Structures are given as C-alpha cells and as structure tokens.
Amino acid sequence: MRRLVALLALAVALAAPAAAAAHPLGNFTINRYSRIDLSGDHLYVVYVLDMAEIPTFQARQEGIDATSYARRIAAAVTLRVDGRPRTLRPAGQALAFPPGAGGLRTTRLEVLLEGPHLQKDSLVVYQDNNYKNRIGWSEIVVRAGHGAGVVSSTAPHRSRSDELRAYPKDLLRSPLDVRSADVRFRPGPAPGPPPSLSHGPTLRAPDRVADSGFARLVAHDRLDLPVILGSLAAALFWGAAHALSPGHGKTIVTAYLVGRRGTPLDAALLGLVVTVTHTVGVFALGLVTLALSQFLVPDQLYPWLNLTAGLLVVGVGMAVLRLRIRGWLSARMHARAHAREGAGHHGHHDHHHHHQVPEPGTGLRGLVAVGVSGGLLPCPSALVVLLAAISLHRVAFGLALILAFSAGLALAITGVGLAAVLAKRAFARARVDGALLRALPALSALIILLAGVAMTAQALPKVR
C-alpha cells in the first residue's frame, strides 16, 4: 500500500511542473522601456528598445537604421496632456549591437523623445503601442527633476530591470507588461536640460536565459576533433538537463507508462519520437525565421504549439481513460459470468473460461502522441545555435549540435519512462492491495487528462 501511494505521489509531484511553460523564450523577446521625464517644465521620454538574438537576426537581414527606428517608435506612442493629444518627436538616438548567445548579436536602441512644455500642474497620459503583439518585457517609469515634481503616478519611480540591463530572474516566465501610465506633474520654474543617452558601444547584452551554455558551443574559435567531440558531449548534457526542467511531458510519460503494460521498448520509442519531433521543430522554426519573417514571427507560433501539445495530451488522456474504463467494465462482466458458470458447474474447472482480459491502451498511436507532445516545443537556444551556425558558416556543425541536444533531451525522457516501467513491475511483484492496483491505470489516465487540460488552459489566453 505504501509503495503504491509513493508511486502515485511521484506522478502527482511531476504533474505540478507540467502546467508551467517550458521556456522563458528569452532569445525571442523584444523588450521596451519608457521613462517619462519632466526636466524643469520640459517633458521628455527616454525610450529603450532591447531586441534579443532572434529578432535581431531577422531585423539585420533588412538593415537597422537608428533614425528610421526612432521615427517608427515615436509614431507608435501616444501622449495626452490634460486630455489634449500632444506630439513626441525624436531628438536623439544611440544604437548598439551587444554580443549575445551563440555569437549572435542583440540590439539596444535608446531614443530621446521630446515633448511639450508644461505651464501648470498637468495630467499626462502615456501609451506605448510599439511591438504590442510580440512577447517581451514592457516597463514604464516616471522621473522629475530640476524643480519639477510628481504629484501622483500609476507608474513607479525606479526601474525593475535597470532600464532593460538586468531582468529579474523570477519574472522571466511572466514578464512585466506595463504599456500605459497616468502621471500628474508639477512643472519647475524653467526648462531643464534634456536627459542623456548611454554610450551604445559599451553596452552589454542582458542575460535572458539560463541555458545559454548550449548556445556558446557553436561559437568556438577553432574546430578540431577534440573540440567537436567535446562539444557534442556537452550538447548531449545540455539536452538532458533541459529535459529535466519544467515541461517536456515527463508527467505524461510517467503516467502513461505506469498505467499500461509499458516495456523498455515503449520508453525507447518515446525517446525516439521526442528526438525526431524536437529536431524537426527546430528546423521548421529556422525556416520560418529565415524565409517567412515578413509574414510570421517564430515566437507567435509558440502559443499555438503549446495549444497543440495540450490538445494532444487531452486526446490521449480521454482515449486512455475511456479504454481503461471499458476494460474495467469488461473485466467485471467476465468475472460475474465466470462466477455464475462456476456455480452452475459446482466447481468444475474449465480452462476455456480462464483467459486473461487484455489491458486496454492506445498502442502505437498513443505512444507517438505522447512523444510528440514532449518534443513539440523546440528549445529557443537550439534555434539560436541553428542561426549562429548559418551566420558562422558552420551549418553541419550546428546541425550535429542540435541533433545531440535533441538526443540528450530524449535520453532523459526515456530514462524517466524506463524508471516508470521498472517501478510498475516492482509494484506488480509486491503484495499490494488488489483494488488499488487495479485502479492505477484509470488514475494514471486521469493524471494525463488533467495535465493536458492544464496545458491547454495555459496556452489559450496567449493564442492570437
């Protein structure tokens, strides 16, 4: 009894991370920061744009012109003073391309937007509409100086990200999303100096992701056999480590194999499907990034991939639960029929009626669906490696690293599945309460269904 409860507790414990996102998507982000600054009686906005590796890769294919970007940013923000629309015009910009993961570049653009003079206490309403359909950090702060003051504000006075230089680690999965602010200013007696911008070339890219060690492998200064073999081994390790982070269907794999007559071959097949799905997903996102960026951006696909994975898991859970309930009812009917027959024959033993009812399951289709759900969300760092390999003319090396990473991810998930299979066999040999053991397949199917519902519910609000 205790061992069975422990096994179920393990599956439930693994279920908690299943509802969490698998990636913070740091390499995809376009992050925005606005500082509404009243210097004396003159209103300014310091606008900072931080583009991660993948959007920078896309933008640099078309060319990034600081003046054009500054005009575009100014056109997409709105400012109202005491209810009247006012204009913000670019008055300066600083552009830099700090190095990022995998040898790729990032973008940091700072723009000074000049606004009106304030003659009296005024209510300023600011709205940022730049990149509103892209994932990323969005922050607004307020500052006043040189005799001016802030009477009231819906925005804070200090930046939580140091003006997009250092993102709080605990908020990467749920980034700040502030796009508007209402501020009542008290102007100073005279105009103050305009805010200064940073010196772009000295800027360093912020650390957005925790698994960037994998991305660094593609950017070695030289490639000889020891470096290549060591890099492939490291990629294998990073893939396994990544698989053990939240997500990637470990709960579903465990529950699926615990609740059916899973074999080591089933666990290996799941690993193979995860490898193929993850590798194909990286290549597909690479194609979107390189060829279809004008029509579709990769980060907009992630909510749909999350939703697809969730619906797949829901489908598997419903199918497994239905089949196992049907099998349980069939077994009960068979037991009753056998009892009636035994009573009629007064204990005469007939081997013909002692056949074993096969355990229900979804077979190969179920295994494939579970494996696809575990590998459907490609790691953003793998896409960074692919793009970096293209830019460094190391395509073959990049593909080998991605394959090794996917294999490591699959080996970890296979290990989880194999542990579930061996644990199930150990409990089957132990003296465990028969009713609880018979209920285990239905309980595992219920865990799969609940995990799928949680994944779907998380993905739906983000689908656009």
- The secondary structure of 124-137 as a DSSP string is EEEEE-TTTTS-S-
Token pair in block for residue 429: 């040999």
Bridge partners of 366, per DSSP, are none
Q: Are 22 and 251 in contact (CB under 8 A)?
A: no
Q: Distances in Å between the alpha carbon of 404 and those of 9, 122, 211?
A: 32, 60, 15
- Looking at per-residue pLDDT, the higher value among 356 and 38 belongs to 38
**3-class state of residue 230 by DSSP:** helix
Lowest mean pLDDT among 56-70, 88-102, 354-368, 376-390: 354-368
Close Cβ partners of 148 (under 8 Å, ≥ 6 residues apart) = 38, 39, 40, 41, 185, 186, 187, 188, 192
pLDDT of residue 311: 81
Q: Are 412 and 58 in contact (CB under 8 A)?
A: no
Which run of H or E residues covers position 159? none
Query: Span 366-385, mean pLDDT?
Result: 76
Close Cβ partners of 156 (under 8 Å, ≥ 6 residues apart) = 141, 142
pLDDT of residue 363: 62
Q: Tell whether the model's pLDDT for residue 355 goes beyond 60.
A: no
Query: Span 76-99, mean pLDDT?
Result: 94
Q: What percent of the chain has pLDDT over 70?
A: 72
Residue 264 sits at φ, ψ, to 5 deg, of -55, -30
* Residue 173 banded pLDDT, cuts 50, 70, 90: low
Token pair in block for residue 238: 């990073």
Q: Are 23 and 104 in contact (CB under 8 A)?
A: no
- Looking at per-residue pLDDT, the higher value among 226 and 12 belongs to 226
Q: Which of 434, 342, 50 is nearest to 208 (CA)?
A: 50
pLDDT of residue 111: 96
Reported as a single tens digit per residue, the pLDDT across 103-133 is 888 999 999 999 999 999 999 999 999 998 8
Task: Compute the mean pLDDT over every residue in the chain, rounded to the nearest whole number.
Answer: 78
Reported as a single tens digit per residue, the pLDDT across 192-214 is 999 999 865 555 667 665 445 78
pLDDT of residue 457: 80
pLDDT of residue 359: 44
**3-class state of residue 257 by DSSP:** helix
Q: Tell whether the model's pLDDT for residue 7 goes beyond 60.
A: no
CA distance 71 to 91: 10
pLDDT of residue 411: 87
Lowest mean pLDDT among 33-37, 118-122, 330-334: 330-334
pLDDT of residue 66: 93
Reported as a single tens digit per residue, the pLDDT across 290-326 is 766 566 666 666 677 777 777 877 877 777 777 767 7
Q: Fill in the DSSP letter of residue 121.
A: S
Q: What percent of the chain has pLDDT over 90?
A: 30
pLDDT of residue 284: 81
Lowest mean pLDDT among 57-66, 282-291, 330-339: 330-339
* Residue 21 banded pLDDT, cuts 50, 70, 90: very low
CA distance 22 to 20: 6
Q: Tell whether the model's pLDDT for residue 434 goes beyond 60.
A: no
Q: Tell whether the model's pLDDT for residue 360 goes beyond 80.
A: no
CA-derived radius of gyration, the chain = 29
